[in-house]
Structure 1
Amino acid sequence: MTASIPVPDNDSRDDCRLWIGNLDPRVTEFVLLKILQKQGNLKKFDFLYHKSGMDQGKPRGFCFATYNDKKEAERAMKRLNSQLVLSKPLAVRWAHAEKDTEDKSQSVSGAIHPCSTMTQGSQSQIQAIEAKLRSMEENSDNFTLSFNPAAPPGTNKLYSVRNTTVNRQTKPYRRPRKR
């Protein structure tokens, strides 16, 4: 006898999940949580922060809220969408809406075409880079690595220009004497 483990259905989990965006940077997690709790019983609340970079520790400008049932989620979406919080209107959408638009952009074979959102210029640049890499692979015998330095340290052009001006015998500026 084998024990069966129920597999969570992604659609049922996402039915009550909302994406709340366009958050003012001054909105705190606590304030937003209180606003969302007024609309219904929250099951889960994810307020996102930047993990790295210049904005590390600062809010990312959006969050996710999961309600207990779909009616509460719909009511919250209707009430909060375009609602002004501090200086910005909230944007509230279903969290799984992006997944639906991704499915529509798939081709007949089921794969997303990698160039579907690229411009013609970037496609030609990518093709040129790929051609260059192929030619480098074909002519790999012509490439050698040298571990000897081409010149001793400190002999670049800028260094040599500075040295020639410093090595010239120059006299400091002195004001001519009045007679």
Structure 2
Amino acid sequence: MFTSPTQAVYTTPVPVPEDPAGNIKDDCRLWIGNLDTRLTEYTLLKLLQKFGELKRFDFLLHKLGPEKGKPRGYCFVSYENRKDAEKAKRNMHGKLALSKKLVVKWAHAETESEQQEIRVPCSTTGVFSTGSTESQIRAIEDKLRKMEESSSDFTISTKPVAQPGSSQLYQINSAKQEKIKKPYSRKK
């Protein structure tokens, strides 16, 4: 994605959906998201088994609605030990699976080190900064203040540019419609 130096890029953390295992705290449990809908449960299971022995695997499907029976786009997996779970997380996060890059996170609450950063351009130089949260908030507020001050520079005209029905495309389509509207006559 291309962004200009004055355009802010916000990357927000992807929230982990509710775990079907309930309130069980498992430090070896991963959430794997952004799954391609063509990726089968069997294929994913075989891919995950490469990193260690699995304790639990939940491949979730829609229960209701027009998507009933189709994959939700994420799953949960528990490994026998933390070392295997870390290896799977490290090796699978960001890897391409069919047409989508996988997102792998811990299924339990994220720590601050796992959250993604917000990149905000400096108001004077336009260079992106990834400083403290307070400095990022100040930069965003500064940018919003400047946008409010310059809002009077931009006006939206409610007057039409041309008369309705005067464009060439409208005239061509009207001529086609006239040909269609002529009644059919049977010749003897």
Question: How does the TM-score come out when normalised to structure 2?
Answer: 0.46
Higher relative contact order (CA 8 A, sep 6+): 2
* Higher normalized helix content (fraction of residues): 1
